[in-house]
Amino acid sequence: MTTRKMVFVDTSLCTGCKGCSVACKAWNELPAEKTKLIYGYISQDSTTPTTWTYMSYHEKYENGKMHFLMMKHQCYHCGDPACMKACPVGAISQTDSGYVLINQDKCIGCGYCVANCPWGIPKTDETKNKTYKCTGCIDRVENGLKPACVSTCQPGALQFGDREAMLQTAKARLEEVKKSYPKANLYGENLMGGTTYVYLLLDEPEVYGLPANPTVPSSLTFWKDIIQPYGGWLIPLAGAAAIGSFFSTRLINAASSKSKGGKTHGH
Amino acid sequence: MNVSRRSFLKASGITLAAFASGLGFDVAAAKAQGYALKLEGCTKITSICHFCSGGCGMLLHIKDGKLIHLEGDPDNPINEGGLCPKAASLQQVAYSPDRPKQPMYRAPGAKDWQYISWDEAIERIAKKTKEIREATFTKTEEITNAQTGAKETVTVNRAEGIAVIGSAEIDNEECYLLTKFARLIGTPFHEHQARI
Amino acid sequence: MVTKKERVLRFSGSARFAHWGHTITFLVLLISGLALFSPSLGFLAAIFGGYVSAGVVHRVMAVFYTIIPLACLIANPKGFVEWWKDVFSFGADDIKFLMVFPLEFFGFPVKIPPQSKFNGGEKMNSVITTTSCVLLAISGYIMWFKESFPIGLVQWSYPIHDICMILATTMVCMHAYLGSFHPGSGESFWGMWKGTVRADWAAHHHAKWYEKVTGGK
Amino acid sequence: MSPSFGRGAMTNSWQDMQNSEVFLIAGSNCAECHPIAWKWINRARLKGAKVIVVDPRFTRTASKADIFAQIRPGTDIAYLGAIIKYIIDNKLYDDYYVKTFTNALYKINKDFKFEDGMFSGFNSETKKYSYSTWSYQLDANNNPIKADSLDDPDCAFTKLKEHFSRYTFELAEQITGIPAAKIKEIAEVFCSRRPGNILYALGMTQHTTAVQGIRCYAIIQLLLGNMGKAGGGIQALRGEPNVQGSTDMANLNANLPGYIPYPTNAEKTLQHFAAKHGTAQYRPMVAILKAWFGQNATAANDYGYDWLPKNNPANMPTQTQFFGQMEKGQFKLLFNFGSNSTVSIPDRKIVARGLSKLDMLVVTDIFETETAQFWREPGMKPEDIQTEVIFLPAAFVYEKAGTMTNSSRLIQWKEAALKPLNESLPDLDIIDLIFKKIRELYAGSTDPKDNAILKANWDYGKHADPYKVLEEINGYNDNTGKLISSLAEYLNAPIGTVSTGCWIYAGVTGSGNLANQRNNSDPTGLGLNKDYAYAWPGNIRVLYNRASCDANGQPVDEKRKLIWWDAAQGVWTGYDGPDVVDKTKGPDTPEGKVAFKQTPEGVGRLFTASYTSGVPVAATVELPVPTRSAGMTVDGPLPEFYEPIESPTANILHPNVQNNPCAKIISTEFGSPEEYPHVLTTYGVVEHFCAGAITRNIPWLNEIMPEPFAEISKSLAKKIGVKEGDKVEVSSARGKLTVRAIVTDRLQPYKVNGKEVETIGMPWSWGFASLSPGPSTNNVTMAAIDPGAGTPEYKCCLVNIRRA
């Protein structure tokens, strides 16, 4: 598969049923967690090593009109994934279809990806020392099936297809939705190198608790593009200097002792 | 002393080489790997969701008699593969450790169940049914004829002491047989949660 | 004139314990941590039986790494004060030292200006190493307990940890070499090993200090 | 719906919702309780359809609405009445449709009256109406007299107009709490876009005015000409997977399978039964007796009619009333197949009281339900409860073969995918084993009372074979000795020559297992999927589809063609199965105009008059047998608003008649608005199902909805000093429970008769057992039931709330 894929999350169609949450657990054989209600109908407000997608609800009462917004959260599968950049052991890779995957054989659970994802999606199982997140159902996708969440979505809020075609669908839908929701926007089209999960939000990202402009952390760029490739050279340089000195001192010493009749430098 | 110096050099060299070759970000190769599908080799059997009255089709993937996966049946025109959370969760019922393993009996006044065999359970139920039926049976009763106003005796063949609550969660054939069962043993007192 | 046999006490027991404790923990931390610096250094993790156990070793060592200097600081605050007093008495002679040091380093005969207990290079080493080590520890703990800190702080801890590691390791390379195989500094190794140095070496290398401790004899 | 249209089922299908232009979703939180609906509503929305949601709470369904109105629970009739008035006043009704396909022009008995909240004919002792004045003016041939115009003072349309003239938008606002302008907006939007679709569920039926609320929907849809059309209709979203099937199969005290009225002691012989109910019911009655008694059912012995138990109308308890009868000692043995009354019955303490008095309780279920272990609910004393309980583990849906009928009457076959877990057995086997054992115990008895058991046709194999049962349901033709091949074959065969266990299913296995058809093609794009499974009756997907055609039998909506009259062939044909009396009777014949053939008049009934069609004819029996009688609404031929049994206010329409005068009240404790000032409404959540017997044992579902709660407005929260996550105690005169508070803007206080009222919302799916136990909301609800449907008023009662 070579074309980039995309899941279009149309929150104007989502009814917040959490079907995607359960389908994800079922396909990926993830155990249930013991939860409590946190707020409203929310019993999960972040991903965990065994919860790769969850639903959030946002209430906004404005001018006598209620807005009950909802969206599912999961790995965005960025075009320019910070997690992949942060991974020190090369366990994270990206497929041509756009999926960002953690190779569990290589993952050491260091959590660098966890700290550097702008949405904090990957989560480390501290007992297994492995980090987990949504795989985009890569095994289904690569075998011609839709991701489990998309496949189960009753209200049709999730659509899956080639990225270009999906973006066209998303933009057309946005035009329509803007008539009733002027603040509606597409979230993810150009963020983080273009995400694989692109949302049609009915309100500004902040209303959904999302960063408006998620970026690869500058600390990560500094770290991975400057410090690690160049800064590290200081150490071998120091080593080389030491080796150089080791020989030069002895050579000079030998030369001077010849000229000064074997007298040592006298330190 | 010489030896240790040489080993120090050697170690430095290795470290140097490692740094030289390995520094910088190693861009992960984006190669399509062969992702095995757990559904390979499964038999697909369709079923129908057990919850609301949508009648959504479910697809069960079975291997060696074991349920491997359950999801929406994409060929069912009602749900086209979609399932709500309740339906999507149904594979957890298949091997739930919380399902009672065999018939259970609770004696009068008892504080807990005891396991019994199917034979014993059916025997007890049938005997009790006969006992209650015999004890509470109304063969005839007197009514007032609505047209003539005359009293008359009619055959009603009613087992007054038995009630049957059926279910909207079992199959048609079962509902039908239950209706037939109730009326054959003599009880018109047959209801279910469609009233609720 | 001092003879070659005379020895002068340069480092107290606690200072030596701090130094060597620090050295060992640092080296173990370095080796166990380097595996994460670059995937090509992953083989280093194998020494510890894999990344996970390397991580455990790294964390255990990190605790000793922070406890040892702190313990020594508490046990012998006077020594620390003296050390830092000397480090911060950075004067013209120290600058001169630093200017001629590169030549000295590669074996060219130079005239070294009189130095206190620590020469200009050692003072530099002290400042850089100490700063790095403190930052290494702080950033390390932030990374370790990242849930308890703001995400921005955690994110910056990674490059800071690496920068400090690089600086500290660079200093360690130089320091270790100077303290061992550099022909000119050989005696300083014994200062940190036995605690004492040859008096003539002290007089030559750390004239100010030598005069101070021997009362100008 | 049955009194309005003749059939009581969802008229269209899930897929058909994609064809609608506007939806009125009132009394259904279908995004949560029928998620499948939203697959198809969203398809319509993508094409521009508008969605109106009326609900006591701003639900997940409301989140997707174009218009939302928060209503006081139990007051739907008030605003629906205002919409009916708006349609009539502004002449927005479909004139041709109303005159052709409804009884609008039919003249009503001059003695019919409606005064001060009461219809004519009420008997205050029995709390029942006599239907004598709710009738038509008839001609000599027993046909209703039709007026020439809708302005005729006697015609049904005028009665309707007069009746609803009181329902202004302003009055509706005072009763419902919805601003008048919003009701007007709803009326405008719903009437301006056709076809319009109405969806309702338990939010409408769980009231003491259940039937009349749905009658309002029927009137609106008949006036607007939305019945019988793709994208139109009224969708009764039924609650359980096979509730359509279980009602078809008559797990109800007043029916036999196929909606045959259950015989009472007044119909002492089959002839009496035929006289009362007409050939329309006599035919299936004979057919089912033949199915049940086989060779033993002959014309000579009234097909075994005598062997059936007869109802005593004086003692016909519905499910909610069962428990009272147990407590009183009538019932000694209860068979409980797959329902969880201990959680689900309103004012639920009556359940445990009843069950404690039984000799034996037999429960079959997948999990150990609260009902099965009622004796060890915290607070009960097991040592004092003498009830023997037998729990039989049942196989789950995919562990057994058989059919289920969905809400749109689609009968779908499924094979067993897995072996039943451990020792569990399908309910079919359980019933079969019990019956066979009982028959064994009665072997040799000559007592006539045991004939039903001994003469029954009961042979489904060693292990009961569901397909054999389905074949019995389909029925056999004695003349051919084969299965009945179609509904028409059953209808055309002489009475007494065919058997069928449920006549509306006739044909389902007649030519192979039609319930197992898998061709999902949809050439029309309308979502008919005619070759997928089988819909009763006669595989019709859109009921009353004759009404989608004009006077020439041609579709009025070119985009949504269902059926049409093919003049060349002389036959009704089309994409759907034509719902006509006779496929060969054209639109110019009287039969060819009939769109609602299950009503005696053949039209949709704006006014549910008492009427029995046909002239007395001698059939195969001696007594006169008319053809068909009308289904009645027992509490009035036109809908009228009554306050819920527990209401925060007085009925401003008629203060002397506060509640539905016919409602059956079971609860014995009632609260006053002073003591219990808030209105409680109960509901399900998408994450759990009904009484939760299954879903609370599924860890993945407990994870996404771990506990029950009470939703309250921010203003109420402030008043009682509660914040999100605090525990609150909700109490009524009947009981109390403590749950977590959800404080939300999705509920707002509103004004009723000038007084501010708060609604509290609580889901009810929890009980004391399972993996996720929680307090049951039915501790506080009201056991009062609709006189027609028998549904309890779960949806509103008065409560108080305080910080726990």
Residue C96 lies in a domain: yes
C203 CA: distance to closest CA in chain A (Å): 10
Report which of residues A237 and D460 the model is more confident about: D460
Residues 6+ apart with CB under 8 A from D505: B172, D248, D258, D411, D473, D474, D536
Count of Cβ atoms closer than 10 Å to residue C170 Cβ: 23
Give the pLDDT score at B145. 85
Q: In angstroms, rounded to a whole number, what is the distance separating the alpha carbons of residues D795 and D722?
A: 24
Pick among A119, A219, A253 to test the C interface (most C CBs inside 10 A): A219
Q: What is the DSSP letter of A223?
A: I
Give the pLDDT score at C106. 77
Residue from the list B5, B8, B22 with its beta carbon closest to the beta carbon of C41: B22
**Domain tally, chain A:** 2
Q: In angstroms, rounded to a whole number, what is the distance separating the alpha carbons of residues A149 and A136?
A: 9
Neighbours of chain D (3+ CB pairs under 8 A): A, B
Q: Is there a contact between A35 and D43 if contact means CB atoms under 8 Å apart?
A: no
Q: Is there a contact between A86 and C158 if contact means CB atoms under 8 Å apart?
A: yes
Residue from the list B166, B173, B187 with its beta carbon closest to the beta carbon of D309: B187
Q: In angstroms, rounded to a whole number, what is the distance separating the alpha carbons of residues A143 and B34?
A: 9
Residue from the list A120, A232, A250 with its beta carbon closest to the beta carbon of C166: A232
C159 interface with A at CB cutoff 8 Å: yes
Asked whether residue A132 falls in the same domain as residue A244, the answer is no
Asked whether residue A94 falls in the same domain as residue A190, the answer is yes
Asked whether residue A184 falls in the same domain as residue A239, the answer is no
Q: Is there a contact between C38 and B5 if contact means CB atoms under 8 Å apart?
A: no
Residue A40 lies in a domain: yes
DSSP secondary structure letters along D366-387: SS--TTTTGGGSTT--GGG---
Q: In angstroms, rounded to a whole number, what is the distance separating the alpha carbons of residues C80 and C100?
A: 28
Q: Where are the beta strands (DSSP E) in D322-453?
A: 333-337, 360-365, 388-393, 402-405, 410-414
Residue A169 lies in a domain: yes
Token representation of residue D117 = 């909240």
| Cis amide prior to D195 (ω within 30 degrees) | yes
Token representation of residue D591 = 């039969």
Q: What is the pLDDT of residues A125-152, one digit of tens each?
A: 999 999 999 999 999 999 999 999 999 9
**In this model, does residue B9 exceed pLDDT 60?**
no
Chains B, D in contact, 3 or more Cβ pairs below 8 Å:
yes
**In this model, does residue D54 exceed pLDDT 70?**
yes
Residue A254 lies in a domain: yes
Give the pLDDT score at B196. 57
Residues 6+ apart with CB under 8 A from D178: D54, D69, D70, D71, D79, D172, D750
Pick among B70, B71, B76, B93 to test the A interface (most A CBs inside 10 A): B71
Q: At how many degrees (to 10) do helices C77-88 and C51-75 cross?
A: 90
Q: What is the ipTM of this complex?
A: 0.90
Contacts C39 to B, Cβ<8 Å = 22, 26
Domain limits for position C52: 8-214
**Domain tally, chain C:** 1
D292 closest CA partner among D307, D276, D275, D277? D307
Give the pLDDT score at A259. 62
Residue B45: helix, strand or coil by DSSP?
strand
Residue A85 lies in a domain: yes
A43 CA: distance to closest CA in chain D (Å): 6
Q: State the first-to-last Cα distance of chain A, in angstroms, to the nearest integer.
A: 70
Token representation of residue D257 = 């399978």
pLDDT in tens, chain C (217 residues): 455 567 777 777 777 888 888 889 999 999 888 888 877 787 888 888 888 888 889 999 999 999 888 888 888 888 778 788 877 877 777 788 888 777 777 777 777 777 777 777 778 888 888 888 899 999 999 999 988 999 899 999 999 999 999 888 888 888 888 777 776 666 677 777 777 777 777 777 777 777 777 765 4
Asked whether residue A188 falls in the same domain as residue A242, the answer is no
Q: In angstroms, rounded to a whole number, what is the distance separating the alpha carbons of residues A110 and D236?
A: 55
D561 closest CA partner among D521, D600, D584, D528? D528
Over residues D407-427, mean pLDDT = 96
Contacts B31 to A, Cβ<8 Å = 93, 95-96
Q: What is the DSSP letter of D413?
A: E
Q: In angstroms, rounded to a whole number, what is the distance separating the alpha carbons of residues A7 and D362?
A: 50
Over residues D492-503, mean pLDDT = 95
Give the pLDDT score at D625. 59
Neighbours of chain B (3+ CB pairs under 8 A): A, C, D
Over residues A229-257, mean pLDDT = 79
D288 closest CA partner among D248, D260, D312? D260
> For residues A140 and A99, is the Cβ–Cβ distance under 8 A?
no
Residue B41: helix, strand or coil by DSSP?
coil
Residue C1 lies in a domain: no
Q: How confident is the model at residue D208 (pLDDT cuts 50, 70, 90)?
A: confident
**In this model, does residue A1 exceed pLDDT 60?**
no
Residues 6+ apart with CB under 8 A from D115: none
**In this model, does residue A266 exceed pLDDT 70?**
no
Residue A36: closest C-alpha in chain D: D706
Residues 6+ apart with CB under 8 A from A134: A24, A47, A52, A53, A74, A75, A77, A121
Count of Cβ atoms closer than 10 Å to residue D394 Cβ: 29
Q: In angstroms, rounded to a whole number, what is the distance separating the alpha carbons of residues A94 and A2?
A: 12
Asked whether residue A167 falls in the same domain as residue A193, the answer is yes
Give the pLDDT score at B147. 77
Token representation of residue D309 = 């138990």
Q: In angstroms, rounded to a whole number, what is the distance separating the alpha carbons of residues D508 and D536?
A: 8
**In this model, does residue D232 exceed pLDDT 90?**
yes
Q: In angstroms, rounded to a whole number, what is the distance separating the alpha carbons of residues A124 and A127?
A: 9
Residue D700: closest C-alpha in chain B: B89
Asked whether residue A88 falls in the same domain as residue A171, the answer is yes
Residue C22 lies in a domain: yes
CA distances from C152 to A110, D160, D628 (A): 17, 70, 79
- Amino acid residing at D327: E
Count of Cβ atoms closer than 10 Å to residue D90 Cβ: 11
Q: In angstroms, rounded to a whole number, what is the distance separating the alpha carbons of residues A138 and A135?
A: 6
Question: How many helices and strands, by DSSP H and E, does chain D display?
Answer: 22, 34
Q: Is there a contact between C107 and A248 if contact means CB atoms under 8 Å apart?
A: yes
A25 interface with D at CB cutoff 8 Å: yes
Asked whether residue A210 falls in the same domain as residue A235, the answer is no
Average pLDDT, rounded, for chain D: 93
**In this model, does residue B25 exceed pLDDT 50?**
no
> For residues D239 and B168, is the Cβ–Cβ distance under 8 A?
yes
B19 interface with C at CB cutoff 8 Å: yes
Residues 6+ apart with CB under 8 A from D511: D485, D486
Count of Cβ atoms closer than 10 Å to residue C188 Cβ: 24
Asked whether residue A182 falls in the same domain as residue A246, the answer is no
Residue D802: helix, strand or coil by DSSP?
strand
Residue B142: helix, strand or coil by DSSP?
strand
What value, to the nearest 5°, has the Cα angle with vertex D718 and ends D717 and D724? 45
B125 interface with C at CB cutoff 8 Å: no
Residue A110 lies in a domain: yes
Asked whether residue A207 falls in the same domain as residue A250, the answer is no
CATH number at residue C106: 1.20.950.20
Chains A–B, number of C-beta pairs less than 8 Å apart:
103
Q: Where are the beta strands (DSSP E) in D384-489?
A: 388-393, 402-405, 410-414, 476-477, 482-483
Give the pLDDT score at A219. 92
Q: Is there a contact between B18 and C181 if contact means CB atoms under 8 Å apart?
A: no
Count of Cβ atoms closer than 10 Å to residue B111 Cβ: 12
Domain limits for position A252: 221-259
- Amino acid residing at D777: T
Residue D743: closest C-alpha in chain A: A40
D612 interface with B at CB cutoff 8 Å: no
Residue C150 lies in a domain: yes
Domains of chain B: 43-94 (3.30.200.210), 129-195 (no CATH)
Residue C181: closest C-alpha in chain B: B5
A144 CA: distance to closest CA in chain C (Å): 33
Count of Cβ atoms closer than 10 Å to residue D74 Cβ: 30
Pick among A41, A58, A181 to test the D interface (most D CBs inside 10 A): A41
Q: What residues does D106 pair with on adjacent strands?
A: D146
D515 closest CA partner among D803, D248, D116? D248
> For residues B121 and B105, is the Cβ–Cβ distance under 8 A?
yes
D93 closest CA partner among D22, D15, D191, D189? D191
C48-57 core/surface letters (b: 16 or more CB in 10 A; e: else): beebbebbeb
Residue C201: closest C-alpha in chain A: A267
Q: In angstroms, rounded to a whole number, what is the distance separating the alpha carbons of residues D507 and D514?
A: 8
**In this model, does residue B5 exceed pLDDT 70?**
no
- Amino acid residing at D227: M
Residue C152 lies in a domain: yes
Average pLDDT, rounded, for chain A: 91
B3 CA: distance to closest CA in chain C (Å): 13
Domains of chain D: 2-236 (3.40.228.10), 254-314 (no CATH), 319-408+415-442 (3.40.50.740), 409-414+464-540 (no CATH), 664-803 (2.40.40.20)
What value, to the nearest 5°, has the Cα angle with vertex B114 and ends B110 and B118? 130
Contacts D62 to A, Cβ<8 Å = 66, 68
Residue A55: helix, strand or coil by DSSP?
strand
Residue from the list B158, B167, B179 with its beta carbon closest to the beta carbon of D338: B167
CATH number at residue A117: 3.30.70.20
- Amino acid residing at D685: V
Q: What is the pLDDT of residues D133-177, one digit of tens each?
A: 999 999 988 899 999 999 999 999 999 999 999 999 999 999 999
For chain B, state the CA radius of gyration: 34
D486 closest CA partner among D261, D9, D498? D498
Q: Is there a contact between B53 and D383 if contact means CB atoms under 8 Å apart?
A: no
